[in-house]
Chain A
Amino acid sequence: MSGESRAWISLSGLGRTLIWLALIGLVAILGQQAGFGVHTLLRLTEANGGEVSRIARRVIAYRLDRVRPTVFRFSQPVSATRILTQPILAQGSAVPGKAWSYSVRVELLDERGGIVSVHEVYSRSVLFESSGKRRGPVQYYRGSDDQVATADEVRIAADRPISAIRVVSGTVDPGVIAIDIRVGERRPLTSAAADSAFVRFNPEDRARLAAANAFPPELLTRQERSAIAVNQWRPIGPVGIDRRDYQMMVLYEEEQEDGAGGFEDDASASGEAGG
């Protein structure tokens, strides 16, 4: 045993107690002054200790009409758009292995409303595979028993800048009672603004957006960061008034058991139209 430790041991019991009390008191006061806030931590734990929502996201979708077109206007002329469509199936009609075909008619419009091009988009959607396994996340509309089939994505490029698109639903298989749509435009960012936008994302958003890269966000080049920020789709809404010119719906999506993301996985956090 060294001489220093013997010196410690040689302190009287009273001396040691006094040193303890003084140090404890000092740390207690410092803890309070610094707003240690253990009670806050405890309250948080208590508050968060209950049920946790299984809802992963809420997004806005628009129900297409067969006759009246729904018009979506971009924030500025764009060269491409992304469209997500989902057939809505009558309750009980979704059976394993069954697929539903449907189409939507999309007109790309220039600044003056002239038609740039017309696209008949045919899709085939499945809800349950033959094995009975559900394809994609569980999605639903609150208060409705209708079933929401998996979303289909199409990206349409235009020969010249377009300012809006006009969409109507087309032919549908029996059992499809409606088609819902979400339309997106790329974030209108310059290269410099894109890099700044990426830097402004919080660490979780940056990590999520850079997940497809081999390197973590902090090792990406400026060009890679800009490309990620620019390559985010932002939802746009239709022109007019709800229930007169279009019908808005709030689509709910549940967390998947395996933690995988839903169809929106390439969309930014802001790609979700609601919370």
Chain B
Amino acid sequence: MTVLRHRLTWIVIAMVLTATALALLLRSPRKEGSFHVPDAVEARAAEAMFARALASGDLRGSTDFELEAGQLELPAGLSLAEPNGTCTGRGAYLFRTDPASIPVALTAPHRGADRLTGELAGALFEEHPFAAAAWNSAPRRGGEDCPHSGDIARLPTHYLTAFSLAFAQRHPLGRVIQLHGFDHARRNSLAAAEAGMILSDGSRDPSERLLDLADCLTGAFPDTKVAVFPIASDELGATTNAQGRALRAAGFTGFSHLELSESMRRRLMRNAEDRARLAACFGARL
């Protein structure tokens, strides 16, 4: 009996190890979202298309990716979005080709799920001459309005990653800013729960450029706690963010992942002066 139990223990351990390996192998990134996810070849082609759009406003070839020009109303500049009503998760992209534009890409990959982040990116892009903006076109979680869903911030070959890489190539000293929203009640630490903003560049060793932004925001919003991952907050560090990882791998140091508390998002949407302060920090030291 003892021999059998001993043997069974080893069998169970072996099964768990084997199952772990199988689970790892069987779970592909495509499981992150049920919408269209380009493969590596398509992603590289999309990056080239975005690079042309950023450089000269040339949107030719965008239809190869089922992205159509002019879908979005834009006071100045160009837009690319999937055809109305398709909701296949390809995202929406705005460009300003004016050389005087500020080399900042504002992105909101969780528009909808992270309330007001899409509206905030839109308002900032409209009020300030940032070079580009982008957000998700399908929800992070499925709903009645759209049959597809997924988290584009976790997809290394998504168009948003291609867009971010093309932007970094075009503006190597610029910033790619991802706007996110967090719920303070769901935070594990007091520091994160009390923060109004949590900044990260996706690494545990924040770059000087991120600290520049953090210091600017600290001065611009003296009544708000501006935390930097992992210095004050060990949460929401975006260490698995697909765009952040791709940009770091490409040698780009301007990726900034900005988590905003709900009260901060509401405040920014209410107050144009606060948005101007935020925008000034985004564009500072570029």
Q: Does B83 contact A (CB under 8 A)?
A: no
Contacts of B222 in A (CB 8 A): 60, 237, 242, 248
| A205 closest partner in B (C-beta) | B190
Complex-state Cα separation, A50 to B218, whole angstroms: 27
> Given A5-B4, A23-B15, A250-B218, A275 and B232 touching (CB < 8 A)?
yes
Out of B190, B199, B228, which one reaches A201, CB within 8 Å?
A: B190
Q: Does B223 contact A (CB under 8 A)?
A: yes
Complex-state Cα separation, A120 to B54, whole angstroms: 60
Q: Does B226 contact A (CB under 8 A)?
A: yes
Interface size class of A (residues with CB under 8 A): 35 or more
| B215 closest partner in A (C-beta) | A250
Complex-state Cα separation, A24 to B239, whole angstroms: 32
Contacts of B19 in A (CB 8 A): 24, 27-28, 30-31
Q: Is the CB of B239 within 8 A of A275?
A: no
Complex-state Cα separation, A220 to B140, whole angstroms: 43
Out of B189, B202, B226, which one reaches A269, CB within 8 Å?
A: B189
> Given A5-B3, A53-B206, A248-B222, A27 and B214 touching (CB < 8 A)?
no
Contacts of B231 in A (CB 8 A): 53, 55-58, 275
Interface size class of B (residues with CB under 8 A): 35 or more
Complex-state Cα separation, A159 to B222, whole angstroms: 30
Q: Does B211 contact A (CB under 8 A)?
A: yes
Out of B3, B214, B239, which one reaches A274, CB within 8 Å?
A: B214
Out of B191, B208, B211, B218, which one reaches A270, CB within 8 Å?
A: B191
- Chain B CB count within 10 A is highest, among A28, A44, A51, for A28
Contacts of B202 in A (CB 8 A): 47
Out of B190, B208, B225, which one reaches A273, CB within 8 Å?
A: B225
Q: Is the CB of A47 within 8 A of B245?
A: yes
Contacts of B232 in A (CB 8 A): 57-58, 269, 272, 274-275
**Chain B contacts to A: CB under 8 angstroms:** 1-4, 7, 11, 15-16, 18-20, 22-24, 26-27, 188-191, 194-195, 198-199, 202-206, 208, 211, 214-215, 218-219, 222-223, 225-233, 239-240, 245
Q: Could you name 7 residue pairs across A and B whose Cβ atoms are closer than 8 Å?
A: A1-B3, A31-B23, A32-B26, A53-B205, A57-B231, A237-B223, A248-B218
Query: Nearest 9 A-B pairs (CB), nearest first?
Result: A275-B232, A275-B227, A27-B19, A47-B239, A51-B205, A28-B22, A31-B23, A269-B191, A28-B19
